Amino acid sequence: MDQIVIRGGNRLNGRIPISGAKNSALTLLPCALLTDEPLTLRNLPRLADIDGFGHLLNQLGCSTTIEGSRPEDFGRVMTARATTITATIAPYDIVRKMRASILVLGPLLARTGEASVSLPGGCAIGNRPIDLHLKALEAFGAEMEMSSGYVKAKAPGGRLPGGRINFPVVSVGATENALMAASRAKGTCIIGNAAREPEIIDLCNCLVAMGVKIDGIGTETLTIEGVDRLHGATYRVMSDRIEAGSYACAVMATGGEVDLVGANAEEMQATIDALVEAGATVTPYAGGIKVAHEGRPKGITLSTAPYPGFATDMQAQFMAMLALADGVSVLTETIFENRYMHVPELARMGADIQVSGRSAVVRGVDRLVGAPVMATDLRASMSLIIAGLAAQGETTVSRIYHLDRGYERLEEKLAAVGADIERVNLG
């Protein structure tokens, strides 16, 4: 078991390369199941979740080869080819570890006319039902059944006839599954109240590169004209806006100036607006974003919302930074009902945070103090890293397998800009 040990108090200065987006990569990988030709993805982050999804693809008959596997490389190139689908069942042992595994449901159904996928796992940040995934596939003509912990889907006659779904609430995952299922439908599929996240646009652009016809990309209404056959493609994964925002919060907490190389300002405008409101100087440039800050952040009020609103995946990192703010901050979590599990751990380091329902009041303190803390989920673990970077003394973060799911070589990137941080193997 590994731990990360941080001796806090150092300013951060220099350059941090931003990796390919985890949330996008996990959506693009299942596209390989839609064609018998190779799909090559560039700028793929080196993460445990990516490796896990690659293993799931292998179980379904998809071969995967990786270039750029040298330890010093950031990002990799993976080519996946599903010449023949050898299984249409995504088993519990794999799916339980990673919620994104549910995204093989749509592609398998589109390609083979049937699919059985175990109910998913992932971070324990609240109830995340897949009912909208199922309603979308039903609206497109699939026959759905829940049995023994599995979702079983079947397309009458082997292909979905097409149809329309108007989501009652915005769902990123359901939009993604619906897009992939619709790509090989007999007729037209329309997705209303679709998610508009940059990762959705990335998926649409990849599907278009594979031969799918999609109108309305970037809007709340997507119209997909199914095609008989998709072809292979080579596609570059977008940069990770959540990783970039996380490191920006670290700069806010410690002080300093860091170039986030590869970050795209247009894809993270709500995060940038919140950083500026808290006192940061944010300067976009061709190929990245520069973030600088001196002194304590300012207290602000934030509420998470679907894109283009403030991302729920940034809430924990902002909370850690705002724990040191000059003033009071109020954060409201509207997406997941159990996403404040990092609060008790931040309190161990001296943070003053009171949670009431879906809101948290953060009263900024003059300093945080290093302590042993335990990660509870992916973004919560990053909040503890940020707190540790700013704290006086030593912080030890346990259960860092959460971090390895979403941040490529985090300690190496932070050490390069001045952090006193190391990974310790406890054997």
Q: Which residues are the active-site residues?
A: 123
CA-CA distances (angstroms) from residue 215 to 115, 226, 341?
Answer: 27, 12, 40
46 is in an annotated binding site: no
129 is in an annotated binding site: yes
Alpha-carbon gap, residue 5 to 288, rounded angstroms: 29
353 is in an annotated binding site: no
Alpha-carbon gap, residue 270 to 322, rounded angstroms: 16
128 is in an annotated binding site: yes
Residue carrying the six token digits 């990092």: 342
131 is in an annotated binding site: yes
Q: State the Rg of the chain over Cα.
A: 21
404 is in an annotated binding site: no
Residue carrying the six token digits 């890293």: 385
Q: How many CB atoms lie within 10 A of CB 132?
A: 19
3-state secondary structure of 235: strand
137 is in an annotated binding site: no
15 is in an annotated binding site: no
Phi–psi pair at 241, nearest 5 degrees: -70, -25
132 is in an annotated binding site: yes
Which residues, listed in sequence order, are joined to residue 310 by a DSSP beta bridge?
A: 304
Nearest-5° Cα angle at 137, 178 to 89:
95
DSSP collapsed to 3 states, 152-203: EEECHHHCCCCEEEECCCCCHHHHHHHHHHHCCCCCEEEEECCCCCHHHHHH
313 is in an annotated binding site: yes
Which residue numbers belong to the known binding site for UDP-N-acetyl-alpha-D-glucosamine? 99, 128-132, 313, 335
Binding site, annotated residues for phosphoenolpyruvate:
22-23
Question: Residues within the annotated binding site?
Answer: 22-23, 99, 128-132, 313, 335
